[in-house]
Structures are given as structure tokens and as C-alpha cells.
Chain A
Amino acid sequence: MRRLALVLAALFCMAAASDPADRLPDPGQEARARALFSQVRCMVCQNESIDDSDAELAADLRRLVREQVSAGRSDPEVKAYLVSRYGEFVLLKPAFSWTNGLLWGAPLLVLLAGGLLLRGRLRPVPVEAELSEKETARLKELANGQD
């Protein structure tokens, strides 16, 4: 129950990311910061980005990201900085790395396996006793229409 209350506490007053008091003066930088927010996890929250969360930690992280952005750091630099401070957990998009190979590779593997299986079933079907157009139309009528 207490845990549930915590979850809810994290949910209440959301989207504090748009609080006018914290905004960067440069709209371009602010937009970049907002884009970064949605890729950074609020680590004490339940699977929320710092863009959505109103937890204190999220506010701290937003301040940190805004500082970095206004100091002229690029997006990858800001992310690298966050990872160096908080670990990979802070990024909502896992890195492309061998340890995450299964995660990124799975869709491709399934596609590949499916493609191979499909190939096994495909045969050029011989043209046999073609129906005339009239017959085809009649057949369709029977199949679709009044059965």
C-alpha cells in the first residue's frame, strides 16, 4: 500500500517540465532540452521520463540537463554526461552495444526466421486449367454473394 502511495505521489502533478519558471530564455535550447527530457528516465519514478514526472529528482535532472544545454553541450555529450553520473539506467533508449544485442537484434531475428520459413513454403504454382474470365466472375459471385 505504501508503495502504491509512492507510485501515485509520482503521478499527481505531472508535466512540470513545462513550468515557465524553469524555462531557458533561448527557445531553440529549450526545445532541445525538452526533447532530451523525454529520453531521460526519472530514476525514482515508475517508468516515467523526466519530461512527465514531477518528482523532485526529475526536477533536479531537468535543471541539470538545462544547464548542460545552455552551456552549449551537444545532445550526445549531455547523454554521456548523464550516463557517467547515473549509469545506463538513466537513458530510456538502451545503448547499441553487444550486451544489448538480444534486445536490438530480436525483431531482426524473428523477421529473418520468418522469412526463411516463408521461403520454404513458396513454390511457383503451375498454371493449370485457367478459368475463363466469365467463370472466375461467376465463381466469385458464388463465393461472395448469396450463399
Chain B
Amino acid sequence: MIVELGAFCLILALTLSAVQMGLSLAGRFLRSRVMASAGEGAALAAFAAVAVAFGALMFSFVTSDFSVANVAANSHSEKPLLYRVAATWGSHEGSMLLWCLALTGFGAAVAVQGRGLPLGLKAMTVATQGGLGTIFLAYTVFASNPFMRLLPAPVEGRSLNPLLQDPALAFHPPFLYAGYVGMSVVFSLAVGALVEGKVDAAWARWVRPWALAAWSMLTVGITLGAFWAYYELGWGGWWFWDPVENASFMPWLIATALLHSAIVTEKRGALTGWTVFLALAAFTFSMLGAFLVRSGVLTSVHAFAVDPTRGVLLLMILGVTAGLGFALFAWRAPALTPGGVFAPISRESALVLNNILLAAATATVLLGTLFPLIREAMTGEAISVGPPFFNLTFTPLMAALAVILPAGPLLAWKRGDARGVYQRLWVAALIAVAIGLLTYGLVQPRKAFSAAGIGLGAWLILGALAELAERTQALKGDGSTTLRRLIGLPRGAWGMTLAHLGLGVFILGACFETGWKVEAAEVLPVGGTLDVGAYHLVLDRIQGVEGPNYEAERGMLRAYRGETLICRPAPERRFYPAGGQTTSEVAICLQGLNHLYVVLGERRATATAPVWLVRAYWNPLASLIFLGPLIMAIGGLISLSDRRLRLGVGQKRKAGA
């Protein structure tokens, strides 16, 4: 019954989305406030309907209703509650429903939040959001319906892949999708602006909060995914340049570029066309991601249940949606007013440079992901594009970005003062270079590139602090002024400082971990020992463990640094009988920001006693890899709470902009 209610609501939501589009379009072109308001009402109703459908699907997962095909294929009655809930979005169908929930949710949010928007722009935005909702809901209803019944109902489900039964991964998709789909609002606002023929400072200000919210969610989602890979896959890697990772990373890069170019449009009325272009591109890359993950055109370790027909449909959706968006852009963009000019040394210049580098980085990731397909189509030969390619192309671009970054916020608009920037940053630069050189000289083995990376990370952190000091005049000596200014600092400024600082923190962690991780592996009998870096591990015993839906061997170890016992790692090797799969549960001992990472491998029979393959890694500063992006996301959220974005300040200034 509840399942049928869900199915009904899903179809209802499809109808409501179409109505939302129709009414809003009518509102825009007939200049009717009533019609436009009705369209907004439909947007709210569509969201409510999808929410009910989503609840119904979750209910059937929680109650293990195996008469629903999707539940039978992706759940198991012995699974813990959290993973039964998370299984709602663990499959292709369920995740499409989550996508639609986010899409209609953002549509409803625009309808409610966009009070300051002029009638035409708002109606067009809600209409576009309705159009997107119609397309994706139609796809879900007709090609990926999660409410299909299965007759006769099986007694037991086929379970969710055990690797995915993990708290970080349970929450990874909701954040990721909120980020992906959040870009749809930016896309719709861009379409609206193009139809209205007006892209100005006010528009940029309306775009920013949506882009910020989506960017923050995406940052959290990607970080959770990387963290999951780090501790679940069991070899300490956290980023593999896998096509699916790239698919989530490209919208992030574009959104980052958009956040920066929107500032130029907001403050200086410049880069209008480019900002609109990025706004369209961000959601296009989100859809490309959805297509890549689901179509099976690329092989990836994370690929979803793969189905070529669905892939073709998604490709069509991508083509039509992005095609219409960019066609509109090609038609209307030439009419947009170009912004003012600026000197080579100015904040505009710095932000444009940021955008060029981010665009080049996106192109690198895009081609790195798709080129194997292009090449195979052209010459019939298969090639691989893996981490060594990205290290050689992407990394230098990001390094260049990191070098110029601290200067940007210190430059004035229109015409900056290079000497002034130099005066404010030379101390930071000097310390950063010193840190890089010290790292090169002191950390063994010597690694020039990793040491340079450490210097860059320090440069970003110190640069962010220098900028903060400049804003609060902390170096001028008057403590009370500094404190007053620190308190009075707009949240947007805090957000920027934190985001830049977070990037520095991430680079520090990533370079240190990649450059100086230590690895050791030995086959150990009970009582055997293993040395990794300065640490000494003893395998005390192996324990059998009965989990709720798995059986495991747990290694009981002791870890010493010198003579002191620092922790008792207990890594597990789990066997899930439902799917016949084995996973390893890593043990991580936190040592400050460093990780001692212990993995229990397979049991090997020998003539005398059984032995186990035990691997241990010393991952220095590994916590920073995940803390950095978290700081960035927090920066985004703080910036989002800025008064200027919450109030309709843009409207008041519209006349002057």
C-alpha cells in the first residue's frame, strides 16, 4: 500500500513539475503574477510529492519489503538499520529518486527563498527548474522506477555490497547529490538571466548563495568519498583519478571558478558572459557525472549497476538540457553588456587568472577521463590515462594557482598595487620558503617536489593569515582595534579566509602523506612482530567475531613507539555470507595528525602454525587531507550565512549597479 502511494506520488510529482514549468512560463510571458505564484505553488507541491515517494521507498527498505524489486536486489533483513536506511539511495533507481528529491527541493527553495528576485527572472528560474524536474522525474518513472514489484516476493534480499556498508558512505551520496543538483539552481538562474537579457551585479549576488551552498555540499560529499576509500579499501589511498571521482571533481572545479568569477560580476559588473557560461557549465558537468557513473562507458572501480539503455537516455537528457542552455547562451550572450576594463595588476586580473587555471584544470580532468574513448573511436587502440598523467598535468596547474592565490585578496579592484602586496606578503613568503627548504633538508628521504608542496601549503596558510592580519590591522599594534575589527569582519571575509586556509591545510597533508608514507608488510604468526617507521607492532592473537551480518577474524595487536605502548590496533577481515564477499576493516591509530594504519590480510596455512599477512602504513599528517576540505566547506557555509546574502540588498542597489 505504502509502496503504491510512493509510486503514485512519483507520477504526481512528474505531472506537478510539468505544471510548474507551464504555469511559470505563462507567468513570465503573460506578465501574470498570479500564474507565476501558481507555478511556485506547483514547485512546492512537486517537492512534497517526491518527499512522500522517497519516504515510501525508505519505509520499504527499513521494513525489508522484498516484494519491491529494488529492495530485494539491494537489501537484506539482517542488515543494521542505518544501512537499510542508506540502501534507499544505494542503488541506481534509489539514487535517481534522491536526485529528484534534491532537484525538486531546490526548486521549492527557489520558490520560497527568491523573494527579492524580479518577477520575470524568478518565473523563468522556477520554470527551468520545473523543466529539469520533468525530465529527470520522467526518466525515473519510466526508465528507473524504484517501486517495481516483484512477484513472487523472495524470502531474503540480495544485500547491499558490504564495502558500501559504512557510515561515511551512507552519508556520501546525500551530500554529493545536494552538491550536484544544487548547481541546477545556478543553471536555472543563468537561463532566466539569458531570457531576461540582463546579467548584472544583482544577478551575480543572487547566484552566489546557491553556488556556495552547492559547492560546500559537494566539498563535503567528495571528502567523505575520499575518506571512505582511505579507510575502507585498505591500502591507504584516498584519490585514484578514477573516472567516477573525476566526474564529481569536475563540477567542483567549475563551481570553484564560478564562485570567483561571480565576485567579479558582483563587484565590478565585469565577466558577465563568462559567469553565465560557468553557471551553465556547472550543472552540465553534474549531469555528465551522473551519465558517466551510470552508463558504463568508462570502467571504474565505483561504477553503479550498469545499463547501456539507461546510459543512452541519460546522454540524451544531458544533450538536450545542456544543448538548450548553451544554445540560449550563444544567442543571447553577445547582447550582454561587457564589463569595465582593468589593469594587469588588479584583483580582476588575479581572479581571471584563477578562472583560467581552474578551466585548464577542468579541461585536463575532462580529457583525462574521456580521451581513452576518443582515442579508441579514432584509432581503435585502447590507452589508459591514470594517476601519472594527472600528476604531470593537473598538479602544476594547481601549484600555479596556489602561488598566485594569497596575492589575490590583497589586490585592489581595477588597479592594484604590486608593491603593497609585496610589503604585506614578503614575510609569509620568506617563512614558506624556509619551511619548504627545511622540509627538504630535514625529512628523509629527500624529496624536492614534496618539499616544494609543503612550502606551497605553508604559503597558502600564511597568506590567508596575512590577509586576515591586514584586514584587522593586527600588525599595527593596537590590540583593541584588531579585536573590534575581527568581530566586525563580515562573514563572507571569514569564509574566504577559511576556504583558502583549508586548501593550504589540504595541500600540506596531501604532500606529506604522499611523499613520506612508510609501508611495511610481513606474514606473521601469533606473537610475530612488524616494524613500520618508528613503530613496532606485535600480533597477540586472532579472535573470531560474529557480526550482525558477517563473520570476521580480528587481529589483536599492540603498537609501540620505543618502549611505550601507544595503542592496540584491532583490524578485521570480514566475510559477508549474503553476498559471499570479503572486506577488510582497517585499524587506524591517531598519533596527533598522523595515522598508524593497520590491515589484517588473508590467513595462510603453513606446516607449523597459521600465519596472517599484516600490512601497516605510517601516514604522516594524513588527517590534514580530510580536515582541509572540511575547513573549506565550513568557510563556504559561514560565507553563506553572511547578512549581505540573506537580505535582499541586491535589489536596493540595482539602480546603481
A, B: real partners: yes
Contacting residues of chain A (77-126) with chain B, CB-CB under 8 angstroms: 87-94, 99-100, 102-104, 106-111, 114-115, 118, 121-125
Which chain A residues border B521 with CB–CB below 8 Å?
Answer: 15, 18-20
Which chain A residues border B485 with CB–CB below 8 Å?
Answer: 145
Q: Is the CB of A8 within 8 A of B161?
A: yes
Known pairs A89-B383, A107-B364, A123-B342; A14 contacts B349 (CB<8 A): no
Known pairs A88-B383, A118-B349, A144-B490; A107 contacts B233 (CB<8 A): no
Q: How far is the CA of A11 from the CA of B583 in the complex (A)?
A: 9
The one of A4, A110, A147 in contact with B363, judged by C-beta atoms closer than 8 angstroms, is A110
Contacting residues of chain B (631-657) with chain A, CB-CB under 8 angstroms: 644
Q: Is the CB of A125 within 8 A of B163?
A: no
Is B397 in the interface zone, CB < 8 Å from A? yes
Q: How far is the CA of A1 from the CA of B157 in the complex (A)?
A: 14
Q: Is the CB of B356 within 8 A of A20?
A: no
Q: Is the CB of B386 within 8 A of A49?
A: yes
Which stretch (B29-37, B202-210, B296-304, B536-544) binds chain A?
B296-304
Is A68 in the interface zone, CB < 8 Å from B? no
Q: Is the CB of A111 within 8 A of B356?
A: yes
Which chain B residues border A102 with CB–CB below 8 Å?
Answer: 367, 371, 374
Q: How far is the CA of A106 from the CA of B394 in the complex (A)?
A: 11
Which chain A residues border B520 with CB–CB below 8 Å?
Answer: 18
Beta-carbon nearest neighbor of B415 in chain A: A125
The one of A48, A94, A122 in contact with B344, judged by C-beta atoms closer than 8 angstroms, is A122
Is A134 in the interface zone, CB < 8 Å from B? no
Q: Is the CB of A92 within 8 A of B386?
A: yes
Q: Is the CB of A104 within 8 A of B385?
A: no
The one of B357, B367, B490, B519 in contact with A103, judged by C-beta atoms closer than 8 angstroms, is B367
- Taking the closest CB of chain B, its distance from the CB of A37, in whole angstroms, is 12
Q: Is the CB of B388 within 8 A of A38?
A: yes
Q: How far is the CA of A123 from the CA of B339 in the complex (A)?
A: 13
Which chain B residues border A62 with CB–CB below 8 Å?
Answer: none
Known pairs A93-B392, A125-B342, A146-B488; A4 contacts B305 (CB<8 A): yes
Which chain B residues border A41 with CB–CB below 8 Å?
Answer: 384, 386
Q: Is the CB of A89 within 8 A of B382?
A: yes
- Taking the closest CB of chain B, its distance from the CB of A47, in whole angstroms, is 5
Q: Is the CB of A88 within 8 A of B615?
A: no
B442-485 contact mask (Cβ, 8 Å, vs A): 1 or 0: 00000000000000000000000000000100000000000001
Q: How far is the CA of A111 from the CA of B414 in the complex (A)?
A: 22
B382-410 contact mask (Cβ, 8 Å, vs A): 1 or 0: 11111111001100010000000000000
Beta-carbon nearest neighbor of A3 in chain B: B306
Q: Is the CB of A107 within 8 A of B363?
A: yes
Q: Is the CB of A121 within 8 A of B163?
A: no
- Taking the closest CB of chain B, its distance from the CB of A10, in whole angstroms, is 8
Q: How far is the CA of A146 from the CA of B490 in the complex (A)?
A: 9
Which chain A residues border B583 with CB–CB below 8 Å?
Answer: 12
Q: Is the CB of A111 within 8 A of B344?
A: no
Q: Is the CB of B235 within 8 A of A52?
A: yes
Q: Is the CB of A20 within 8 A of B523?
A: yes
Q: Is the CB of B383 within 8 A of A100?
A: yes
Q: How far is the CA of A10 from the CA of B583 in the complex (A)?
A: 11
Q: Is the CB of B235 within 8 A of A11?
A: no
Q: Is the CB of A122 within 8 A of B341?
A: yes
Q: How far is the CA of A12 from the CA of B349 in the complex (A)?
A: 49
Is B379 in the interface zone, CB < 8 Å from A? yes
Known pairs A11-B301, A106-B364; A114 contacts B343 (CB<8 A): no
A15-31 contact mask (Cβ, 8 Å, vs B): 1 or 0: 10011110000000000
Residue among B242, B344, B520, B644 with max Cβ neighbours from chain A (10 Å): B344
Q: Is the CB of B386 within 8 A of A118?
A: no
Q: Is the CB of A93 within 8 A of B389?
A: yes
Is A57 in the interface zone, CB < 8 Å from B? no
Is B131 in the interface zone, CB < 8 Å from A? no
Is A7 in the interface zone, CB < 8 Å from B? yes
The one of B158, B493, B522 in contact with A20, judged by C-beta atoms closer than 8 angstroms, is B522
Which chain A residues border B78 with CB–CB below 8 Å?
Answer: none
Which chain A residues border B397 with CB–CB below 8 Å?
Answer: 107
Q: How far is the CA of A103 from the CA of B374 in the complex (A)?
A: 10
Q: Is the CB of B299 within 8 A of A114?
A: no
Which chain A residues border B233 with CB–CB below 8 Å?
Answer: 11, 14
The one of A13, A92, A123, A124 in contact with B384, judged by C-beta atoms closer than 8 angstroms, is A92
Which chain B residues border A20 with CB–CB below 8 Å?
Answer: 521-523
Which chain B residues border A100 with CB–CB below 8 Å?
Answer: 371, 375, 383
Q: Is the CB of A47 within 8 A of B344?
A: no
Contacting residues of chain A (133-147) with chain B, CB-CB under 8 angstroms: 144-147
Is A46 in the interface zone, CB < 8 Å from B? yes
- Taking the closest CB of chain A, its distance from the CB of B198, in whole angstroms, is 21
Q: How far is the CA of A104 from the CA of B374 in the complex (A)?
A: 13
Contacting residues of chain B (140-188) with chain A, CB-CB under 8 angstroms: 158, 161, 163
The one of B240, B356, B357, B381 in contact with A47, judged by C-beta atoms closer than 8 angstroms, is B240
- Taking the closest CB of chain B, its distance from the CB of A129, in whole angstroms, is 13
Q: Is the CB of A114 within 8 A of B360?
A: yes
Is B94 in the interface zone, CB < 8 Å from A? no
Is B4 in the interface zone, CB < 8 Å from A? no
Q: Is the CB of B343 within 8 A of A144?
A: no
Is A39 in the interface zone, CB < 8 Å from B? yes
Which chain B residues border A104 with CB–CB below 8 Å?
Answer: 393
- Taking the closest CB of chain A, its distance from the CB of B582, in whole angstroms, is 5
Q: Is the CB of A110 within 8 A of B359?
A: yes
Q: How far is the CA of A49 from the CA of B583 in the complex (A)?
A: 19
Q: Is the CB of B305 within 8 A of A1?
A: yes
Which chain A residues border B303 with CB–CB below 8 Å?
Answer: 4, 7, 46
The one of A12, A14, A19, A94 in contact with B581, judged by C-beta atoms closer than 8 angstroms, is A12
Q: How far is the CA of A25 from the CA of B194 in the complex (A)?
A: 67
Q: Is the CB of B582 within 8 A of A12?
A: yes
Q: How far is the CA of A8 from the CA of B233 in the complex (A)?
A: 10
- Taking the closest CB of chain A, its distance from the CB of B423, in whole angstroms, is 14
Contacting residues of chain B (281-305) with chain A, CB-CB under 8 angstroms: 299-301, 303, 305
Q: Is the CB of A8 within 8 A of B306?
A: no
Listed by A's residue number, 18 A-B pairs whose Cβ atoms lie within 8 Å are A4-B161, A11-B233, A13-B601, A18-B519, A18-B520, A20-B521, A38-B387, A46-B242, A46-B301, A47-B301, A91-B383, A94-B383, A99-B378, A102-B371, A106-B367, A123-B342, A125-B343, A147-B644
Q: Which A-B residue pairs are the 10 nearest by beta carbons?
A: A92-B386, A114-B356, A93-B388, A15-B235, A18-B521, A110-B360, A123-B341, A89-B382, A103-B371, A125-B415
